[in-house]
Amino acid sequence: MRNLISIEDVSPGGWDALYSLCCEMIDRPGDYIDACRGKVLATLFYEPSTRTNFSFQSAMQRLGGSAFGFAEPNATSVSKGETLADTVRIAASYADAVVLRSPLEGAALAASLYCEIPLINAGDGGHHHPTQTLTDMTTIARLRGGIGGMTIGICGDLRYGRTVHSLILALSKFADITYYLISPRELRTPGYILSRLRAAGARFFEVSELTRTLPELDVLYMTRIQRERFGDPAEYDRLRGTYVLDRPALGAARGDMLVMHPLPRLDEIAPDVDGDPRAVYFEQVRYGMYIRMALLLTLTGLGRKPVPPPTAAGPDGGHVCPNPDCVTRAEPYIPRLRREDARAPGRVYCEYCDSEITRTAPHGCCHTGSTEL
């Protein structure tokens, strides 16, 4: 792995190596205080962040390296209209690794095409968030002794929650996991994520009730309804507050269940749960720093690798991705990479955001669901 764009970039062997490095760092942090001395991290945050940004910066500093970047793009040349490609190229001239968060789906993959140093996706719109998943996997592995062989409930906004998408993709590689996907009907898990679960032969149930599901669970992963991703504020107002885990509700859960949350939480976990030994979301935050330390040490050692300028977008059949939040819509010079579903010939997906673009017509031209240039 050179870039971490999707959690699927981490092979099973890669995960084992990262996790064991992370455990060594937890046990003997003093051994690593100079491990990244002289290395520099660029943190480009086009979207608000507390944990992810702070944890990357503190991770780099604890390894003896340093970090620069922005959390407010309007203070940079982005406000003058600089493209994502150029901003990433500039940051890469000064740094040894780049961390990128963007509201655009597929932004990290697009940026990596222009980036000579390792690039880490710190969240691309409602699509993926692989380093949160490394955090979640570390928490589960440390507190349960392993990841496979469990029943997990994932609750809240499964449609727009990028941490959920990455987590399911990661867990689908482990044996014997049962999933309860708990959400309102409007916020169900995207089809391309469910198809991974089907392909893995996993047991999963899409349900809307949390209380009845609770007694089954080894892990409950709560999430916030993602207000910023809703096109219609009235729909957000209707769905917010659908799930509230409070002390009385927790009474139905097993004594050793883990309550996790990527944070920030709103009202989906009441503060009276914080003191319960099953509530591990603040421990989860700390594991996030250690696994990011392991990731940074691994990737900053890879050095610089020239990237040829990607070929221009070109008419490419005259179509663009139908997803208005796809990076290719905001940054039109990006080559339009697409992939065909090997198990459903004719179904074509945007390589950046995983939206279905079209079905290929018999004569090889694309039509349905796409927008003409």
Binding site for ligand NCD (CB under 6 A): 51-52, 123, 129, 132, 162-163, 224, 262-264
Cβ 245 vs Cβ 220: under 8 Å: yes
Q: What is the DSSP letter of 127?
A: T
Q: Give the residue with the Cβ less far from ligand NCD, 157 or 218.
A: 157
**Residue appearing with tokens 């910066």:** 57
Q: How far is the CB of 226 from ligand NCD (least distance, A)?
A: 6
Reference 243, options 333, 161, 312; nearest CA is 161
Strands (E), 57-160: 66-70, 97-102, 119-124, 150-155
287, with CB counted inside 10 A (0-12, 13-18, 19+), is buried
Tell me how far apart the alpha carbons of residues 94 and 273 are, in angstroms, rounded to a whole number.
Answer: 44
Tell me how far apart the alpha carbons of residues 251 and 9 are, in angstroms, rounded to a whole number.
Answer: 39
Q: How far is the CB of 113 from ligand NCD (least distance, A)?
A: 23
Q: How far is the CB of 254 from ligand NCD (least distance, A)?
A: 25
Q: How far is the CB of 348 from ligand NCD (least distance, A)?
A: 27
Q: Give the residue with the Cβ less far from ligand NCD, 260 or 263.
A: 263
Q: How far is the CB of 187 from ligand NCD (least distance, A)?
A: 13
Q: Give the residue with the Cβ less far from ligand NCD, 132 or 358.
A: 132
Q: Give the residue with the Cβ less far from ligand NCD, 166 or 370.
A: 166
Q: How far is the CB of 336 from ligand NCD (least distance, A)?
A: 26
Crossing angle (nearest 10°) for helices 281-300 and 51-62: 50
Q: Give the residue with the Cβ less far from ligand NCD, 35 or 168.
A: 168
Q: How many CA atoms lie within 13 A of 182 on its CB side?
A: 27
Cβ 156 vs Cβ 208: under 8 Å: no
309, with CB counted inside 10 A (0-12, 13-18, 19+), is exposed
Q: Give the residue with the Cβ less far from ligand NCD, 259 or 320.
A: 259
Q: How far is the CB of 273 from ligand NCD (least distance, A)?
A: 17
Tokens of 69: 């970047």
Reference 114, options 325, 308, 314; nearest CA is 308
Q: Give the residue with the Cβ less far from ligand NCD, 163 or 189.
A: 163
Question: What CA–CA distances, in Å, run from 351 to 4, 14, 64, 262?
Answer: 15, 23, 36, 26
Q: How far is the CB of 338 from ligand NCD (least distance, A)?
A: 26
Element (H, E) at 260: strand 258-260
**Residue appearing with tokens 């051994």:** 31
Q: Give the residue with the Cβ less far from ligand NCD, 167 or 348.
A: 167
